[in-house]
């Protein structure tokens, strides 16, 4: 039950090369590789003969040779060679997915290829903007992908799950505003005149005892992107009115791609606009954010294990407003797609 007509992140750019990489996306096996000219390709990683994973085979120029009986497929997925006979059956092909390389990610369209317009790719320009540096990585999620989207939209968990890095006590009770623009959701939080979170203090070089005005503005876009504009500036210097020059700003960029109903791939980056000449910042940012996200992964896995035991009554709170709306949007988009999709796609 996924939104299929959407661009998802399938891999980091450096993960795709002249050795095939298998990844299950939206329940389908995909083999990524680059053609000899460097252009990325994504083929169904399931041979149309006996379902062997093509990614266990080898690249012969721009074609893929199946490891089992040697059928060869070109980058469009068409079978071009059957070693055991001269005739190549017309139906011998594997799916080829539209792919675009942008902002250090390899984007893939798992739905109707006719609808794959690159203009629809979500904006993650920070990773290519000379005014920003970034550190990023990926994690495997042992839980349904929407549990992670929930996690990113309700950051009242910060003081409990990440007390040593991101949370301060004031966070749980901070005021927030949820706004909608079409299917996009924005959650704006300002914590005024509070001690900085440990990670922000370190990144912003705030002197001991200095209070900050801290912002955290999360934006959700379907199917499962969350971008967080976060930062802290010395209290009372006008950050909330638009002058962020007395502090530091980071963008936490998250692209989550379902693997199965109960697992996902999590691609994330943390962009920052300070100390750009200092390479160690990128490593530190990556390491700090990764450590916090591993705490989230542990919680998500535990939630999923409990949920797998069967339905149980739950209570929704005021803080859940944004992700409740997010789930309604995703459910509606899935339903709309299934109403209009050909039966074979709907069944998938």
Measured distance CA(154)–CA(176) in Å, rounded: 10
Rounded least distance, CB 154 to Fe ion, Å: 9
Given ligand FES, Fe ion, none, residue 296, with its beta carbon under 5 to 8 Å by kind, binds Fe ion
Token pair for residue 198?
A: 């440990």
Task: Count other C-beta atoms under 10 Å from residue 304's C-beta.
Answer: 16
Q: What's the sign of the alpha-carbon dihedral 37, 40, 42, 45?
A: positive
Rounded least distance, CB 94 to ligand FES, Å: 9
Rounded least distance, CB 282 to ligand FES, Å: 42
Rounded least distance, CB 126 to Fe ion, Å: 20
Closest residue by Cα to residue 125 from 277, 227, 213: 227
**Edge-to-edge strand ranges of the sheet holding 21-25:** 21-25, 28-34, 40-44, 96-97
Rounded least distance, CB 30 to ligand FES, Å: 16
Size of residue set near ligand FES by CB under 6 A: 9
Which of residues 81 and 327 has its CB atom nearest to ligand FES in the complex? 81
Which of residues 43 and 233 has its CB atom nearest to ligand FES in the complex? 43
> In the chain, what is the greatest distance between 2 CA atoms, to the nearest angstrom?
79
Candidates 296, 297, 322, 337: give the one binding Fe ion (CB under 5 A): 296
Residues 30-69 that bind ligand FES (CB under 6 A): 47, 49-50, 52, 66, 68-69
Contact 194, 211 (CB under 8 A): yes
Cite the beta strand spans of 146-246 per DSSP E: 176-181, 184-194, 212-221, 225-234
Rounded least distance, CB 110 to ligand FES, Å: 22
Rounded least distance, CB 68 to ligand FES, Å: 4
Is residue 150 a contact residue for Fe ion (CB under 5 A)?
Answer: no
Size of residue set near Fe ion by CB under 5 A: 1
In this structure, what DSSP letter does residue 277 have? T
**Edge-to-edge strand ranges of the sheet holding 212-221:** 133-141, 263-272, 247-260, 225-234, 212-221, 184-194, 176-181
Q: Would you give the binding string for Fe ion spanning residues 240-279, x where CB under 5 A is met?
A: ----------------------------------------
Piece of 86-94, 99-107, 206-214, 294-302 that binds Fe ion (CB under 5 A) = 294-302
Measured distance CA(158)–CA(220) in Å, rounded: 18
Phi, psi of 202 (to 5 degrees): -65, -45
Rounded least distance, CB 41 to ligand FES, Å: 18
Which of residues 273 and 290 has its CB atom nearest to Fe ion in the complex? 290
Given Fe ion, ligand FES, none, residue 248, with its beta carbon under 5 to 8 Å by kind, binds none
What residues have CB less than 8 Å from 260, skipping those under 6 apart? 24, 27
Given ligand FES, Fe ion, none, residue 52, with its beta carbon under 5 to 8 Å by kind, binds ligand FES
Phi, psi of 253 (to 5 degrees): -115, 125
Q: What's the sign of the alpha-carbon dihedral 59, 61, 63, 67?
A: negative
Find how far residue 158's CA is from the centre of its chain: 20
Which of residues 85 and 241 has its CB atom nearest to ligand FES in the complex? 85
Which residues bind to ligand FES, rule: CB under 6 A? 47, 49-50, 52, 66, 68-71
């Amino acid at each position: 039950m996924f939104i299929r007509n959407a661009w998802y992140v399938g891999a980091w750019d450096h993960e795709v090369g002249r050795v095939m990489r298998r990844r299950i996306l939206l329940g389908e096996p995909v083999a990524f590789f680059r053609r000899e000219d460097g252009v990325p390709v994504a083929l169904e990683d399931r041979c149309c003969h006996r379902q062997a994973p093509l990614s266990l085979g080898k690249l012969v120029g721009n074609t893929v040779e199946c490891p089992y009986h040697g059928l060869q497929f070109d980058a469009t997925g068409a079978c071009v060679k059957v070693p055991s006979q001269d005739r190549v059956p017309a139906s011998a092909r594997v799916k080829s997915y539209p792919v675009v390389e942008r902002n250090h990610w390899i984007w893939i369209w798992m739905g109707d290829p006719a609808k794959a317009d690159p203009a629809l790719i979500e904006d993650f320009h920070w990773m290519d903007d000379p005014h920003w540096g970034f550190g990023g990585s990926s994690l495997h999620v042992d839980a349904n992908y929407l549990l992670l989207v929930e996690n990113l939209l309700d950051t009242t968990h910060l003081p409990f799950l990440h007390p040593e890095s991101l949370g301060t006590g004031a966070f749980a009770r901070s005021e927030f505003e949820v706004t909608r623009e079409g299917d996009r959701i924005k959650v704006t939080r300002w914590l005024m005149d509070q001690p900085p979170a440990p990670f922000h203090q370190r990144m912003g070089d705030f002197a001991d005892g200095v209070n900050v005005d801290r912002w955290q503005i999360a934006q959700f876009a379907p199917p499962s992107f969350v971008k967080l504009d976060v930062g802290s500036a010395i209290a009372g210097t006008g950050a909330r009115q638009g002058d962020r020059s007395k502090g530091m700003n980071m963008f936490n960029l998250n692209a989550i791609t379902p693997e199965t109903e109960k697992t996902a791939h999590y691609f994330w980056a943390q962009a920052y606009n300070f100390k750009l000449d200092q390479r160690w910042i990128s490593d530190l940012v990556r390491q700090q954010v990764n450590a916090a996200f591993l705490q989230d992964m542990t919680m998500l896995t535990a939630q999923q294990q409990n949920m797998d035991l069967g339905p149980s009554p739950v209570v929704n709170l005021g803080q859940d407003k944004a992700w409740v709306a997010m789930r309604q949007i995703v459910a509606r988009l899935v339903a709309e797609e299934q109403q209009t999709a050909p039966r074979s796609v709907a069944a998938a």
